[in-house]
A and B are shown apart, each in its own frame.
Chain A
Amino acid sequence: MSTIAARPESALMPKRHYANVKHSVASWLLTTDHKRIAILYLISITVFFAVGGFFASMIRLELLTPKGDLFDGDTYNKMFTLHGIIMIFFFLIPSIPAVLGNFLIPLMVGAKDLAFPKINLLSWYLYIIGGLLAVWALVKGGVDTGWTFYTPYSSTYAKTEVFLAVSAAFIAGFSSILTGLNFIVTIHKMRAPGLTWFRLPLFVWAHYATSLIQILGTPVVAITLVLVGVERIWGKGIFDPSLGGDPVLFQHLFWFYSHPAVYIMILPGMGVISEVITCFSRKRIFGYEFIAFSSLAIAIVGFLVWGHHMFVSTQSTYAGMVFSFLTFLVAVPSAIKVFNWTATLYKGEITFEAPMLYAFGFIGLFTIGGLTGLFLGAMATDIHFHDTYFVVAHFHYVMVGGMVMGFMCGLHFWWPKMTGRMYPATIASIAAIIVFIGFNLTFFPQFILGYLGMPRRYHEYAAEFQVLNVMSTAGASILGVGYAIPGFYFMWSLFFGPAAGPNPWGAKGLEWQTQSPPTTFNFDEGQPIVVEEAYAYSIGGSESVS
């Protein structure tokens, strides 16, 4: 067995904690404890990640050869549609907020629970109902519109289970809204004494910005999906030109939410990275206020850029120019974060635990994903890259290289807090490196494929693209192994891992001042009082130390 990360010799598992206070199934399914709900989400999103991953592997398997020899075109369309719907609506959007946010925000602000515990449980049930509808759509024959449900194909012509899939996304949207509402009220109203806004962990700031997007954007996509249903069922002309509608209007309404949704996915990951980088550099974060406000700036400016998805629709060229300019603006707050994380590392006492390896992966891959986004935000280059594998590579660098890396980073960082147990550090580090290698081998060739002109969403391709596609499929296999390994050692850790103690990483923050795992009401020793800034590590000075 490999070494165990930072295990304190004297740590013992506490006798009473949130997970063993009651054991019945009902005590889990009817719980209002934010930590138990987070665990319910963790199990659920892991299942959906596996389902979405299955479709991804089928896509890559089909693309191993230029001929469509595994699936026909219609089946392939369903594969990538279900991969997109499940991964975006049922994994990426809820992953960090609903799992880590749910578990940690009350702990980080020194509260007993979220502001509305019953609404928190309701949001999980809505998520599950939405997820089951998506699975039902899958079982009944699938959907072939792509996850974007573009009209008029989705509203008029598609013969597949569009209505079920749209309903699934609609219901899951309410889950997202309720989670965001809960976080905003909790952060405003339930902070511990002394925990001023500028002493909040940047994880909390990131979730505050994310929640704003969830509340302001999600209702728009919900209404848009209802309008698709209205046109599909009753034939009312809204988006279909043959009925007097405008398909570009659908794209406006859809992307008004779905571009900011990218920031719903990535902002919480950025929050995780801010926590991990400081902890494993033993250093105060560089430019706290800039990172905090850049989260809000991303949330706000992210709402103004959606038209860059529509440069080759019939959107006006003048509107496209405005959207292109605004798209370049949103790169500024993202760059602020990357520069500040890098500056935090400078002269830090850096150690390379598994969470830190994932954090390094996040910074590098997100930077590539972000910079290639500028190619797509510029109108001239987007004409060439639109609907090619360049786009696929770009958003996977942001979503998988960024967000999934962030999620794995956070899961490895707070696993000892969530379960009270450590995992094998060496194996975890090896898994992180395998994920990094597998990811790059999967998606970097796709940049080249897109640059060379290979279009996305086709099950056959020209023979000259095969070598790069074989590399990509081989990378996907390595990536799959990289994701499977943590599944095994986390399960091992759950039963056999050594006790972690309250603060195995020597990290700052209220969540590390209570036992691991915490009790039902988090702080049995009494209401915590905050007397220092968020990252009062020994290097870089702090208001309480200097």
Chain B
Amino acid sequence: MAQHVVPPSTYVKVFGGLTILMILTVVMAFFNLGVLNPVVALTIAILKALLIVLFFMNVKYSSKLTMIFVACGFFWLLIMFFLIMPDYISREWLTPAIPW
């Protein structure tokens, strides 16, 4: 399969995007949005990761097989979160018979 040639200007734009998102991360740290704090932080982090994966790692121009493998990687990360969270959510549900 022929290698897709990405023009340098694309990388410059992505770098600019990442810089803006980094500044946004710092700025948002000064605002207390309550329960929205993690939502905003995670949204910015996901956008940064997407830019890196799609452009710097060239996944946008790769074969479907590569995309499947990348998706699997993120799916595995979700499995980890999905199975760890029930522990933290349900730890308090059972009051121990003998308080420690």
Measured CB to CB, the residues of A under 8 A from B are 184, 188, 215-217, 220, 248-249, 252-253, 256, 303-304, 306-307, 314-319, 322-323
| A210 CA / B32 CA spacing, docked (Å) | 45
A220 — which chain B residues lie within 8 A by C-beta? 80
Known: A220-B80, A303-B79, A322-B86. Is A317-B73 also a contact (CB below 8 A)?
no
Residues of A within 8 A of B69 (CB): 184
The smallest C-beta distance from A286 to any residue of chain B, in angstroms, reads 30
Q: Is the CB of A216 within 8 A of B73?
A: yes
Partner of B93, one of A215, A252, A316: A316
Chain A residues contacting B84 (CB-CB under 8 Å) are 249, 252
Q: Which residues of A contact B64 (CB under 8 A)?
A: none
Q: Which residue of chain B has its CB nearest to the CB of A181?
A: B69
Residues A303 and B76 in contact in the complex (CB < 8 Å), given A317-B94, A318-B93: yes
Q: Which residues of B contact A (CB under 8 A)?
A: 65, 69, 72-73, 76, 79-80, 83-84, 86-91, 93-94
* Given pairs A256-B80, A303-B76, 10 additional interface contacts (CB within 8 A): A216-B72, A216-B76, A248-B87, A303-B79, A315-B91, A316-B89, A316-B91, A318-B94, A322-B83, A322-B86
A318-B83 contact given A216-B72, A303-B76, CB 8 Å threshold: no
Chain B nearest CB, measured from A302 CB (Å)? 11
| Nearest-neighbor residue (CB-CB) of B65 within chain A | A188
- Could you tell me the distance between the alpha carbons of A217 and B76 in the complex, rounded to whole angstroms? 9
User: Which residues of chain A are near B94, meaning CB under 8 Å?
Assistant: 316-318
What residues on B are CB-neighbors of A317 within 8 Å? 90, 94
CA distance A217 to B72 in the complex (A): 12
**Contact between chains at A304 and B83 (CB < 8 Å):** yes
Task: Give min CB distance, B42 to chain A, whole Å.
Answer: 17
| Bound CA–CA A531/B36 (angstroms) | 61
Bound Cα distance A68, B17 (Å): 63
In the complex, what residue of chain A is closest to B93 when comparing beta carbons? Answer: A318
By DSSP majority rule, is chain B's interface helix, strand, loop, or mixed?
helix
**A304–B94 alpha-carbon span in the complex (Å):** 23
Docked Cα-Cα span, A253 to B80, in Å, equals: 8
Note all chain A residues with C-beta closer than 8 A to B91: 314-316
Contact A252 to B87, CB < 8 A, known contacts A188-B65, A316-B93, A318-B93: yes
A315 touches B80 (CB 8 A): no
Contact B90 A319, beta carbon cutoff 8 Å: yes
Q: List 30 A-B contacts (CB under 8 A).
A: A215-B73, A216-B73, A216-B76, A217-B76, A248-B87, A249-B84, A252-B80, A252-B84, A256-B80, A304-B79, A304-B83, A306-B83, A307-B87, A314-B91, A315-B87, A316-B86, A316-B87, A316-B88, A316-B90, A316-B91, A316-B93, A316-B94, A317-B90, A318-B86, A318-B90, A318-B93, A318-B94, A319-B83, A319-B90, A322-B83
* C-alpha spacing A315/B90, complex, angstroms: 9
- Of the candidates B72, B83, B94, the one having the most CB atoms from chain A within 10 angstroms of its own CB is B83
Complex CA distance for A532 and B87, rounded to whole angstroms: 50
Closest chain-A Cβ to B98's Cβ sits at a distance in Å of 14
- Min CB–CB distance A42 → chain B (angstroms): 30
Q: Is B87 within 8 A of A319, CB to CB?
A: yes
**Cβ of B90: which chain A residues have Cβ within 8 Å of it?**
316-319
How far apart are A210's CB and chain B's nearest CB, in angstroms?
Answer: 15
Question: How far, in whole Å, are A326 and B85 apart by their CA atoms in the complex?
Answer: 16
CA distance A188 to B93 in the complex (A): 47
